[in-house]
Amino acid sequence: MAESDRNGPSAEQAPRFEPLSSWIERRPEEMRSRAREFYEDLRRRRTVRDFSDRSIPEDVIEDCIRAAGTAPSGAHMQPWHFVVVREPELKRRIRVAAEAEEREFYANRAPPEWLAALERLGTDADKAFLDTAPCLIAIFARRFGIDARGGRFKHYYVQESVGIATGMLVTALHHAGLVTLTHTPSPMTFLTSILERPENERPFLLLVTGYPAPGAPVPVLEREALESIATFIGDD
pLDDT tens string, the chain, 236 residues long: the values are: 344 444 555 545 666 899 999 999 999 999 999 999 999 999 999 999 999 999 999 999 999 999 999 999 999 999 999 999 999 999 999 999 999 998 888 888 878 887 888 887 778 889 999 999 999 999 999 999 998 898 999 999 999 999 999 999 999 999 999 999 999 988 999 999 999 999 999 999 999 999 999 999 999 989 999 999 999 999 76
Residue ranges covered by each domain of the chain: 48-212
Is 146:200 a contact under the CB 8 Å cutoff? yes
d(CA 93, CA 97): 6
Quote the pTM value: 0.90
Task: Let me know if domain 48-212 sits in CATH 3.40.109.10.
Answer: yes
- Which of 114, 136, 153 minimizes the C-alpha distance to 190? 136
- 179 with 51: CB under 8 angstroms? yes
How many Å apart are CA 155 and CA 165, to the nearest integer? 15
Instruction: Report the pLDDT value the prediction gives residue 12, as an integer from 0 to 100.
Output: 54
